[in-house]
Amino acid sequence: MKKIIIVSTVFSLIFFSTTYSKNELYEKIDLFGEVLENIKKEYVDDIDQAEVMESAINGVLQSLDPYSAYMSPELFKEMQTDTRGEFGGLGIEIGMESGVVKVISPIDDTPAAKAGIKAGDYIVKIGKEQVQGKSLLEAVKLMRGPVGTSINLTVRRKNVKKPIEFTIIRRTIEVQSVSSKIIGDQKNLGYIRLKSFNENSDKQFLKSVKEFEKKPRIKGYVLDLRNNPGGLLTQAINITDFFLDDGEIVSTKGRKISETRKFFARRGDEVKGKPIVVLINNGSASASEIFAGALKDHKRAIILGENSYGKGSVQSIIPLTNGGGIRLTISKYYLPSGKSISEVGVTPDILVEAEGEDFQINSDKDNQLNYAIKLFNS
C-alpha cells in the first residue's frame, strides 16, 4: 500500500481543482487506489508497479495537451541536449496528435530529411515497435541510438494509401540555424534560411542581415522559415525585432502573473523598410509562427506558402525530486492581433503549395521560392 499512498499524494496535487469538492476529490483518489489494487491482484500477468505508476502520471500529463509529458530520471538525463545546436538522432521534430506521433518538421540536411520524411507524416512503427499508446518521449527514446546505426520507420502520409517504410542511419545532428545567399535574376535579393531558433540564431541572423545591407544592390529579402520547428521564445522575439520599428511582437498568457507578459519591438528596422517575403509551410511551428504572424499583423511582410503547424504554447521543463522531470505547458502565446495560432496556425497571404515529387527547398525545383522571387519583379 505504500506505493499507492505516494501516488495518491501525487495525484491529489495534479488533480486538485475547483471542479471537485474535497470529498469528491478524495473519492477519486480512493477509486484510483482501488483500481491499482485490482490490477495487482487480478491482472493476468505480473506487472511492474513502478512502471504502472509512471504510465499513470504520464497519462495525466498527456491528457492536458500534446506537449506535456513525464520523463523518467533516465529519459530526463538523455533529454538535456536541445537548443544548443547539437544532438544525436535522425533530425526530426515530432509532436503528438490523437495519440499518434506526428512529424512537425524534418530538419534540413539531416538523415530524416534526406531519406524523405515530410512534415505531417504520422510515425506508426519504430523498428518493430508499434507507436500507438506510447508517449512522445518514449518514441524519441526509441529513435535515438548510437551514431552510425540504422533504424526503420514506418509512416502514414496524407493522400497515400499504403504505409511508407524508411531506413535511416543515425547521425550526430549539428544544426547550423542560419544560411544565406544572394538570389534573383538581378542578384538583388537577400535570401536567409532560418532552420531553428536556438541560442545563437539571432547573432547569426543579424550578421547575415548586416552583410547584405553593405551591398547597395539589395532591394528586398526572402526569409525562409519552412520546416523550422521553432525553439527559444527569446530568439523569436529578438529576430522579429530586427524588422519592426515599434509595436507588439507577441504576448503570453499563463496562470502565473510572471507568465503573462507582452513583448514589444524596439526602435530601429535593420533593413530600413525594404520589402520582405516570408516563406512558411506545415513544418513551420512555434517560434516560426510568432515571427511570421507578427510580421503579417504589422503588414511588414508578405507571408507566402502553406498554412503553418499551429503550436501556440510555451513549455517549461520542471525537475522532480526523483531525478526525472515533466515537460509542462505553462502559457499560451498570442499574436499582436490578439489571435492564438493553437491548432490553427498562420495563414499565408499568398497560398502556394509545394509542387512535384522532386520538390526540394531552396533548389531549382522550389516553386514557392521561385514565386517569391517573381513578386519582387512584378
Q: Which residues have a catalytic role annotated? A: 286, 297, 311
C-beta separation of 123 from 92 below 8 A: no
180: its cell numbers: 544565406
Pick the closest to residue 311 from 339, 340, 338 (CA basis). 340
Dist CA 151 CA 40 (whole Å): 36
Residue with cell 522532386: 358
For 146-202, the DSSP string reads: -TT-EEEEEEE-TT-SS-EEEEEE-EEEE---EEEEEETTTT-EEEEEE--B-TTHH
C-beta separation of 86 from 172 below 8 A: yes
For 332-349, the DSSP string reads: EEE-TTS-B-TTT-PPPS
Residue with cell 517549461: 316
Dist CA 16 CA 126 (whole Å): 36
Residue 378 CB neighbours (<10 A): 4
Dist CA 147 CA 160 (whole Å): 31
198: its cell numbers: 536556438
